[in-house]
């Protein structure tokens, strides 16, 4: 593969604080040089960015894939297609598949399937417990050796305190961490929407917001006890974020992410029993949405993840209480995050850091930056170009987007993986 030169770009590197016009030169899959005035090597492929933004490829900290076991919902190939359209070049896959990723051979299988796409690095999480059943711990050492980046039971909370204590201790011993779905299982059981006036009026079984903060409080106490690292996924309430903020100030190994629905939508989006907006955790009230935005701005939240959860039509064409929770999020991750830049809640580099350099730092990756020698995983996007989300017309299999009908600004024009164009 020859050299690639992208010219006339607005270079954006959150890690280095770079926001300047210039070009970027790629050789052998890595960034050879970048800056305001680069020469054109003989035989190089030249791409004129025409003033669009060139940033590191996005690193998605949390996505469910249908494969293995639910290929009718999503395959690794279809997820890679959707990811490339959204500028995502690295993705952390949840282990609660069928079978679950509690075996080193399955970890290796998912990594190889990601490599086979040519467009997406898949970093699988290992199942924290055997079968993601919440009882016996998996073989952390063997899973990590096979390539697991951390440990979680995916969409299921580790509800037993003793099991979570052991998981944090074992993960610490292997230089890793545990990702928790922060929802107290007994309080959340059977719920379909956030408990309150709206759920009552709609006749829906409620999940109290305290189900999130209760488990966060417990696991912070366990992190203090074990000196292990706990990461809370898709945090959605002010109370939980206050606890995480205080834990960080104390110096505990506590991190967290959220997902676009929790800062872009509130519980009114479930409207007339819109099952596409049925998520786990459920959408919250406006005060919680604003608290999530504030936590993005003040650095409490470490990353924005797609929280991609593919569902097919049969999962969603059911009464609201019976419909499966989850929303597709790969193709919309960048644009919905940029909506907060347009709205003034976040600066552009700060927003991009939540999608690139900060998740890279959490995972210990070389990706997520524009720097000489870094992988040439790149996204070119126009921050003001508008488009509308339409379920049924998204790339990939999964069409169950909670943003259906949403007008967005921020369009991906091109995605490169190791210097090879994979979208646009």
**Residues tagged active-site:** 307
Please name the residue that has the structure tokens 């779905």: 181
> How would you classify residue 271: left for phi > 0, otherwise alpha for psi between -120 and 50, otherwise beta?
left
**Which residues is 121 bridged to in the sheet?**
90
Please name the residue that has the structure tokens 């917001």: 209
CB contact at 8 A, 60 and 121: no
Q: How many residues does the chain have?
A: 424
> Rounded to an integer, what distance in angstroms lies between the CA atom of residue 266 and that of residue 262?
7
| Helix-helix angle 238-250:210-226, to 10 degrees | 10
> Rounded to an integer, what distance in angstroms lies between the CA atom of residue 319 and that of residue 191?
13
> Rounded to an integer, what distance in angstroms lies between the CA atom of residue 280 and that of residue 364?
28
Task: Give the DSSP letter of residue 4.
Answer: E
- Closest Cα partner for 402 from 319, 279, 316? 279
Task: Give the DSSP letter of residue 205.
Answer: P
- Closest Cα partner for 24 from 36, 41, 14, 42? 36
Could you list the beta-strand ranges (E) of 4-79.
4-13, 18-27, 30-35, 45-48, 53-56, 58-63
- Closest Cα partner for 283 from 366, 209, 369, 362? 209
200: CB partners within 8 A, 6+ apart = 206
CB contact at 8 A, 330 and 83: yes
> Rounded to an integer, what distance in angstroms lies between the CA atom of residue 12 and that of residue 357?
11
Q: What is the largest CA-CA distance in the chain?
A: 68
CB contact at 8 A, 153 and 95: yes
């Amino acid at each position: 593969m020859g050299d690639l030169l992208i010219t006339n770009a607005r270079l954006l590197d959150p890690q280095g604080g770079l926001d300047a016009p210039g070009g970027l030169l790629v050789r052998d899959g890595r960034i050879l040089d970048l800056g305001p005035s680069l020469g054109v090597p003989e035989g190089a492929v030249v791409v004129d960015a025409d003033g669009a933004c060139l940033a590191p490829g996005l690193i998605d900290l949390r996505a469910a894939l249908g494969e293995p076991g639910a290929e009718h919902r999503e395959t690794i190939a279809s997820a890679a297609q959707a990811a490339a359209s959204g500028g995502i070049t690295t993705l952390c896959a949840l282990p609660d598949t069928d079978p679950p990723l509690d075996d080193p051979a399955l970890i290796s299988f998912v990594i190889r399937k990601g490599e086979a796409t040519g467009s997406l690095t898949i970093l699988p999480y290992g199942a924290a417990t055997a079968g993601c059943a919440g009882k016996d711990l998996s073989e952390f050492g063997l899973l990590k050796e096979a390539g697991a980046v951390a440990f979680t039971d995916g969409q299921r909370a580790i509800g037993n305190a003793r099991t979570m204590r052991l998981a944090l201790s074992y993960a610490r011993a292997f230089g890793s961490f545990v990702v928790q779905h922060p929802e107290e299982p007994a309080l959340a059981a059977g719920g379909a929407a956030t408990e309150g006036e709206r759920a009552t009026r709609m006749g829906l079984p409620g999940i109290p917001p305290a189900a999130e903060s209760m488990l966060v409080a417990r696991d912070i106490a366990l992190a203090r006890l074990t000196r292990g690292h706990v990461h809370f996924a898709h945090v959605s309430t002010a109370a939980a974020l206050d606890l995480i903020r205080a834990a960080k100030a104390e110096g505990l190994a506590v991190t967290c992410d959220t997902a676009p629905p929790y800062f872009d939508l509130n519980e009114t989006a479930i409207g007339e029993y819109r099952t596409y907006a049925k998520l786990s955790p459920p959408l919250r009230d406006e005060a919680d949405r604003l608290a999530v935005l504030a936590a993005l701005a003040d650095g409490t939240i470490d990353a924005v993840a797609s929280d991609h959860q593919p569902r097919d039509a049969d999962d969603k064409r059911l009464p609201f209480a019976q419909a499966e929770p989850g929303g597709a999020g790969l193709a919309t991750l960048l644009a919905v995050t940029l909506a907060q830049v347009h709205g003034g809640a976040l600066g552009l580099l700060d927003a991009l850091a939540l999608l690139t350099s900060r998740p890279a730092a959490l995972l210990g990756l070389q990706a997520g930056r524009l720097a000489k020698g870094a992988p040439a995983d790149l996204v070119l996007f126009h921050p003001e170009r508008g488009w509308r989300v339409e379920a049924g017309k998204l790339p990939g299999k999964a069409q169950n987007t909670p943003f259906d009908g949403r007008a967005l600004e921020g369009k991906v024009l091109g995605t490169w993986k190791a210097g090879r164009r994979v979208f646009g």
